Structure 1
Amino acid sequence: MSAQTFQVAAENGQRWDALALGEVMLRLDPGEGRIRSARQFNVWEGGGEYNVARGLCSTFAHRTGVLTALPRNELGLLAQQLIQGGGVDASQIVWRDYDGIGRNTRMGLNFTERGFGVRAPLGISDRAYSAASQLQPEAFDWEALFGQHGVRWLHTGGIFAALSEHSAQTAITAVRAARRHGVAVSYDLNYRASLWNSHPDPDAARHANCAIAAECDLLIGDEYSFAACLGMDLSDLGCRYTPLDVGPAEAAAVRAMAQFPALQAVAFTLRDAANAARHGWAGALRTRSQLYVSDAREVDLLDRVGGGDAFVAGVVHALLSGKGEQAAVDLGAAHGALAMSTPGDYAITSLAEVEAVARGDGAAARR
């Protein structure tokens, strides 16, 4: 096991290993079919930030919780039961009264087609006026969460921050409070054009992202998301020679760490999406002194949604456990690959399976 340079608070009786701040939606999945012709949907819970907490708990056995809001109706109760079914602590959920028709608050919905071959995956969100988008900084007692109760890691992301001015301010308040209490902070820029393109003030959105990144220990993103979300001028880096070329993203990571002195590392995935059913796939982590890259592999996809979130969960698990940066990218890339082999927003797998994929074990049947 290599020495770890990434610093994170030791386990010392904290209530949680990690908390995730973000929106939890109900995902309606038509399976192999299409939304326009569906007659039934499978239902999952998911969200870019929550998926990390779910993976840390269900795959890696960490104590995690979610900071979110739900409507006090049957859909909110369904989401709560799904969250609890994954072992994630739902005790910090903020419940908002429901007016009967969703005028003031509602459950966010996400309709997702998996795609296949030349048919790309498709996601359609129906989340306006959702309970989570209306979260405000005073909804949580940050001093109690990070001080009295104790947590080692806070994860949030750009999807939540982009929902509204309120959610952006909530994320900023959360990461600042976490840093005051010595809690490690990770932020996945998770750029979504459908959110940012509709934002009333792109400059305000970039300012919010920069304010959050300034408090982070681990930033997740590549040169594209750094340019779009942080407003960094990376035009001189050019295009990737190949989709799995680590060079431009690493160069952008070095510049991000120069811009944000609190950053300990930047993590990102490398993906070659030749078609919707097979991707080239790898993970990378750039610290201030060294680049760590996983082995690249060809991954056959059942459902690509959540692969990046599962990668983050594997990275955070290794850093929380003191396994070192190389183990972080190896376990992260393996966990992400397994997440894309199962339906839903998160991996349905075990630590033993993740470690086997990270070692490069074959996929022969086990009986």
Structure 2
Amino acid sequence: MSQPLSIKAADRCQFDLVSLGEVMIRLDPGETRIRTARQFHVWEGGGEYNVARGLRRCFGLRTGLVSAFADNEIGRLAEDLILQGGVDMSFVKWMPYDGLGRTIRNGLNFTERGFGIRGAVGCSDRGLTAASQLKAGDVDWELLFGELGVRWFHTGGIYAALSDSTPEVVIEAVQCAKKHGTVVSYDLNYRPSLWKGIGGHAKAQQVNREIAKCVDVMIGNEEDFTACLGLDVEGVDENIRGIDVGSFKRMIEKAVAEFPNFLATGTTLREVHTATVNDWSAIVWYDGKFYESNDYPKLEIMDRVGGGDSFASGLIYGFLNTGDPAKAVNYGAAHGALAMTTPGDTTMVTVEEVEKIIAGGGARVVR
């Protein structure tokens, strides 16, 4: 049986959490489609970054970002958006722009939300990005983890899949974090479109299984655990519907048996009825036991992108603030549910709203 998480005291660390990942400019056509849009709303977003921003804006914790940008107007737009979110950028690297984007650029992410029977669509334009060109040795991890101090470090499979060099950056980071007693979480976040450019499914398993050796809290859904760690979920059809929770729990038990360093695992359970109506809940395994969140059946969704990242930030907050896995899974599920009621990748809610939902509060007008 695993041992409970050991989290550094806040007064010993400059940061409560630091995330490693790429941040893209998200261009959102609103209620229309990418292919027919005449204007876009602009947000910033990235799987790993969204966790840091959620912990800062919703939960009030001290968070930072490790990433890189090409130093041009698009990069500075991302900077402005990130700073509005309150996330520290001291460990962001600015790379000289070549004037055209032949060798370096910043990523764009066109995302339409979907409605009813029409699913959400994402179209990323992220080749040759600055963040994907970070290499082992580019970041002073000893300064970050050894001198300044970080209570929790978060990264994930999206960043690990961006290039031939980013897996080494992730491995270097998680090893240093573990050396200095920082809790490490990792969201598997399997994206076959990313992995196919650097070795495909076999490479995804090779890289993620190596990273998994240094992970304390592993986050992912049933497809993630299967594709990235080679663990199967019984009772799941090809469309990932109708999940049998008992079979899923057996898969998690298999995962923690194979990776005894996992002190906790967390996953969301989603059944998609339509793009705008999902069943939503979450499960956490911790110290040999499973903890299930409140259920949110027929959850009405405005924008599903970032729901899983908001689950992760709520889960982490619950562990940092309470140490109680039953509370942590409910913070995660409620925060993820609320985040999907607003546009953009990142949260627009408060901790008071999250706690109201956990306590069973309804949607009556607040005056």
Quick check: TM above 0.5? Answer: yes
SS of equivalent to 2:16: strand
Tell me how far 1:194 sits from its aligned partner: 1.4
Give the aligned partner of residue 134 of structure 2. 135
* Unaligned stretches of 5+ residues in structure 1: none
Tell me how far 1:221 sits from its aligned partner: 1.4
Give the aligned partner of residue 203 of structure 2. 204
Residues in 2 aligned to 1:325 and 1:287: alpha-carbon distance in whole angstroms: 7
Tell me how far 1:6 sits from its aligned partner: 3.1
Give the aligned partner of residue 229 of structure 1. 228
Contact kept? 1:254, 1:288, Cα under 8 Å = no
Give the aligned partner of residue 257 of structure 1. 256
Contact kept? 2:5, 2:183, Cα under 8 Å = no
Is the deviation greater in 196-205 or in 88-97? 196-205
TM-score normalised to the size of structure 2?
A: 0.96
Give the aligned partner of residue 92 of structure 2. 93
Deviations 1:257-297 (A, max 9, x none): 11112110110000011000110000110124110011111
Contact kept? 2:201, 2:227, Cα under 8 Å = no
Residues in 2 aligned to 1:201 and 1:30: alpha-carbon distance in whole angstroms: 31
Contact kept? 1:113, 1:122, Cα under 8 Å = yes
Is the deviation greater in 169-178 or in 285-294? 285-294
Give the aligned partner of residue 339 of structure 2. 339
Give the aligned partner of residue 57 of structure 1. 56
SS of equivalent to 1:101: coil
Residues in 2 aligned to 1:207 and 1:288: alpha-carbon distance in whole angstroms: 27
| Equivalent runs, 1:238-253 vs 2, <5 Å | 238-239=235-236, 243=242, 245-253=244-252
Residues in 2 aligned to 1:362 and 1:20: alpha-carbon distance in whole angstroms: 33
Residues in 2 aligned to 1:16 and 1:302: alpha-carbon distance in whole angstroms: 32
Residues in 2 aligned to 1:359 and 1:330: alpha-carbon distance in whole angstroms: 10
Residues in 2 aligned to 1:35 and 1:201: alpha-carbon distance in whole angstroms: 28
Inter-CA distance 242–111: structure 2 relative to 1 (3 Å threshold): closer
For 2:288, give the aligned amino acid.
S
- Superposed structure 1 runs of 4+ greater than 6 Å apart: none
| Equivalent runs, 1:261-340 vs 2, <5 Å | 261-297=260-296, 298-340=298-340
Contact kept? 1:244, 1:282, Cα under 8 Å = no
Contact kept? 1:244, 1:280, Cα under 8 Å = no
Tell me how far 1:179 sits from its aligned partner: 0.4
Tell me how far 1:205 sits from its aligned partner: 2.7
Contact kept? 1:49, 1:156, Cα under 8 Å = yes
Residues in 2 aligned to 1:218 and 1:281: alpha-carbon distance in whole angstroms: 21
For 2:44, give the aligned amino acid.
E
For 1:307, give the aligned amino acid.
G
Tell me how far 1:225 sits from its aligned partner: 1.2
Residues in 2 aligned to 1:246 and 1:95: alpha-carbon distance in whole angstroms: 45
Residues in 1 aligned to 2:45 and 2:173: alpha-carbon distance in whole angstroms: 21
- Aligned residue pairs, count: 362
Residues in 2 aligned to 1:223 and 1:364: alpha-carbon distance in whole angstroms: 35
Residues in 2 aligned to 1:284 and 1:78: alpha-carbon distance in whole angstroms: 37
Give the aligned partner of residue 358 of structure 2. 358
Tell me how far 1:254 sits from its aligned partner: 1.1
Tell me how far 1:243 sits from its aligned partner: 3.2
SS of equivalent to 2:249: helix
Residues in 1 aligned to 2:324 and 2:359: alpha-carbon distance in whole angstroms: 16
Contact kept? 2:192, 2:201, Cα under 8 Å = no
SS of equivalent to 1:91: strand
Give the aligned partner of residue 122 of structure 1. 121
Give the aligned partner of residue 83 of structure 1. 82
Residues in 1 aligned to 2:244 and 2:359: alpha-carbon distance in whole angstroms: 22
Contact kept? 1:191, 1:229, Cα under 8 Å = yes
Inter-CA distance 130–151: structure 2 relative to 1 (3 Å threshold): same
Deviations 1:284-315 (A, max 9, x none): 10124110011111310000000000000000
Give the aligned partner of residue 20 of structure 2. 21
Tell me how far 1:201 sits from its aligned partner: 4.8
Residues in 2 aligned to 1:248 and 1:102: alpha-carbon distance in whole angstroms: 47
Contact kept? 1:33, 1:113, Cα under 8 Å = yes
Residues in 2 aligned to 1:68 and 1:249: alpha-carbon distance in whole angstroms: 34
Residues in 2 aligned to 1:103 and 1:242: alpha-carbon distance in whole angstroms: 42
Inter-CA distance 121–201: structure 2 relative to 1 (3 Å threshold): closer
Residues in 1 aligned to 2:135 and 2:201: alpha-carbon distance in whole angstroms: 20
Residues in 2 aligned to 1:175 and 1:7: alpha-carbon distance in whole angstroms: 16
SS of equivalent to 1:165: coil
Give the aligned partner of residue 8 of structure 2. 9
Residues in 2 aligned to 1:55 and 1:177: alpha-carbon distance in whole angstroms: 24
Tell me how far 1:92 sits from its aligned partner: 1.1
Residues in 2 aligned to 1:228 and 1:56: alpha-carbon distance in whole angstroms: 28
TM-score normalised to the size of structure 1?
A: 0.96
Residues in 2 aligned to 1:323 and 1:356: alpha-carbon distance in whole angstroms: 20
Contact kept? 1:153, 1:183, Cα under 8 Å = yes
RMSD between aligned residues? 1.5
